[in-house]
């Protein structure tokens, strides 16, 4: 470990599959230590995790960081959005957390939209139209299916809130993550009393929303963690808002994130209100907005297709007639929460490599279709796409994004951008800087730029046509659930 030039901070990413911790030099952005520990996610009808696993994983990840974590002057926790954590009077989980990719609440999302003024009402009030991923729909599902769990709940938290509260003893959240719940009014930046009353959620059960740059609390005791009592704790935020901080994003710069889910987003100065529901009007973590579109099926779905075919994920072959819509977990963009995958154009001479390429094409098509809606009218549509996430370093992902977008692609060398963004939040507490400015000082977007290639309009048109023709079938599969 090299000698640090400035104080050390810890940034944490508690994601769907694991918790990652980075110890970072606040002056230079150098990662001086890191650790990672896995979570278990149920694979039955829904997607659930025991929040206590996240705490155990945090302890293990920090233990792997060694002595460097003990020197940290501040810590911040970013994490997966939307998850519903229900706690009893002792602060213990009432039941496993319902995760963002649990789509069982799709009927509740439709019902809530209809009952409270329709899509336009929700978009104008909360910035987003409820989808099955949103926390408010999960609360409504719990009320309908597990009323005894609802009665036992004395506090409602998001995943990163749960870990922050165990550190500080105080119930807090931030504007970035709370904007994805469906019960926070983005226009007034307060909890929406009408929506809370409609779903039967007492606002006293919700955490205090900490402002950007405000201290969320201090470490109350060691809890077996390497932090000294009194260590500063930053607000934390949701994973996409944290990654935006980690990149030091300026308004209008587009990001395409390839993870378990796929997302496209950009920082915006104007509050988004898309009544179609394609764009979620999230807040970011430092006072602006983060319009975002999300697909449920990204790297995990394509890897599953590769595994079914017995192929390495890079073993793609060009295809001109094959279309695969890899909706293995339903889909959010387009909004088909219970749809399944669909294959069109299969022939005797189709190869396994062509099938795999078609899966990449189907996933990227969904993301690029939402990109124009995410970007402001004055955004530079020839600027490089920042490609991040687990798939960003994959050649097949890079080439598919280039071919279907027609844009240059930049791949930042920095890894674990969610944890880096959380670390920038922690550093901002010490220096008084905007965390995004901290990340720009750290030069986190540094990385190769891949030149633009001619856009493959033929493939885009073919996929759009298949999707349009298959819409009645996909809708029927949704209704069948």
Buried b (16+ CB within 10 A) or exposed e, 412-434: bebbbbbbbbbbbbbbbbbbebb
Instruction: Note the pLDDT of residue 376.
Output: 73
Residue 11's SS3 state is: strand
Residue 189 DSSP one-character state: T
The C-alpha atoms of residue 199 and residue 136 are separated, in whole angstroms, by 8
Q: Dihedral (C-alpha) 77, 78, 80, 85: value to the nearest 10 degrees?
A: 40
The C-alpha atoms of residue 141 and residue 143 are separated, in whole angstroms, by 5
Q: Are 198 and 115 in contact (CB under 8 A)?
A: yes
Packing angle, helices 239-247 and 435-442, rounded to 10: 50
Q: Dihedral (C-alpha) 265, 269, 275, 281: value to the nearest 10 degrees?
A: 50
Residue 3's SS3 state is: coil
Provide the annotated active-site residues.
Answer: 239
Per-block mean pLDDT, blocks of 10 residues, the chain (481 long) = 78 95 97 96 89 97 95 96 97 96 93 96 96 96 97 98 96 97 97 97 97 94 86 96 95 90 91 91 94 91 97 95 92 83 95 97 92 77 88 96 96 94 97 94 95 96 93 66 47
Residue 449's SS3 state is: strand
Instruction: Note the pLDDT of residue 379.
Output: 72
Provide the phi-psi class of 345: left if phi over 0, else alpha when psi is between -120 and 50, else beta. Answer: left
H or E segment and range at residue 460: helix 457-479
Q: Are 265 and 293 in contact (CB under 8 A)?
A: yes
The C-alpha atoms of residue 334 and residue 282 are separated, in whole angstroms, by 18
Query: Helices (H), strands (E): how many in the chain?
Result: 16, 24
The C-alpha atoms of residue 9 and residue 428 are separated, in whole angstroms, by 10
The C-alpha atoms of residue 368 and residue 159 are separated, in whole angstroms, by 29
Whether residue 94 is preceded by a cis peptide bond, meaning omega within 30 degrees of 0, is no
The C-alpha atoms of residue 332 and residue 223 are separated, in whole angstroms, by 39
CA angle 437, 438, 444 (to 5 degrees): 95
Residue 102 DSSP one-character state: -
pTM for this one? 0.88
CA distances from 35 to 6, 9, 12, 210 (A): 21, 14, 10, 27
């Amino acid at each position: 470990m090299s000698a640090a030039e400035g104080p050390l901070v810890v940034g944490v990413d508690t994601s769907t599959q694991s918790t990652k911790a980075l110890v970072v030099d606040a002056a230079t952005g150098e990662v001086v230590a890191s650790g990672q520990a896995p979570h278990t996610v149920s694979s039955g009808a829904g997607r659930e995790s025991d929040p206590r696993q996240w705490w155990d994983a945090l302890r293990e990840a920090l233990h792997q960081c060694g002595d460097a974590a003990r020197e940290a002057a501040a810590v911040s926790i970013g994490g997966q959005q939307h998850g519903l954590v229900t706690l009893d009077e002792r602060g213990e989980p009432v039941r496993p957390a319902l995760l963002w990719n649990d789509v069982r609440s799709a009927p509740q999302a439709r019902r809530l939209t209809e009952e409270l003024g329709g899509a336009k009402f929700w978009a104008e009030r909360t910035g987003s139209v409820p989808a099955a991923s949103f926390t408010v729909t999960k609360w409504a599902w719990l009320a309908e299916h597990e009323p005894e769990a609802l009665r036992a709940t004395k506090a409602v938290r998001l995943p990163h809130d749960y870990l922050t509260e165990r550190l500080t003893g105080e119930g807090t959240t931030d504007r970035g993550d709370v904007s994805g719940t469906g019960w926070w009014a983005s226009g007034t930046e307060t909890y929406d009393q009408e929506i809370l009353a409609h779903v039967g959620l007492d606002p006293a059960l919700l955490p205090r929303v900490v402002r950007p740059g405000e201290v969320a609390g201090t470490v109350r005791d060691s809890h077996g963690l390497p932090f000294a009592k009194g260590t500063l704790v930053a607000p934390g935020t949701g994973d996409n808002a944290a990654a935006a901080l980690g990149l030091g994003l300026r308004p209008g710069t587009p990001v395409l994130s390839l993870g378990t889910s796929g997302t496209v987003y950009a920082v915006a100065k104007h509050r988004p209100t898309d009544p179609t529901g394609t764009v979620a009007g999230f807040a970011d973590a430092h006072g602006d907005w983060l319009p975002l579109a999300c697909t449920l099926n990204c790297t995990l779905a394509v890897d599953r297709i590769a595994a079914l075919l017995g192929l390495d994920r890079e073993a793609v072959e060009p295809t001109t007639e094959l279309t695969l819509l890899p909706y293995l977990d339903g889909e959010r963009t387009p909004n088909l929460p219970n749809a399944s995958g669909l294959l069109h154009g299969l022939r005797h001479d189709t190869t396994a490599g062509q099938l795999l390429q078609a899966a990449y094409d189907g996933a990227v098509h969904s993301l690029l279709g939402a990109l124009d809606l995410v970007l402001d009218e004055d955004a530079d549509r020839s600027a490089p796409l920042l490609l991040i996430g687990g798939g960003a370093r994959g050649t097949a992902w890079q080439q598919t994004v280039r071919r279907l977008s027609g844009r240059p692609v930049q791949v930042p060398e920095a890894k674990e951008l969610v944890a880096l963004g959380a670390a920038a939040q922690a550093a901002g507490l010490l220096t008084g800087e905007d965390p995004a400015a901290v990340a720009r000082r750290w030069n986190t977007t540094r990385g190769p730029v891949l030149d633009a290639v001619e856009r493959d309009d033929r493939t885009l048109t073919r996929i759009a046509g298949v999707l349009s023709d298959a819409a009645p079938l996909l809708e029927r599969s949704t209704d069948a659930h």
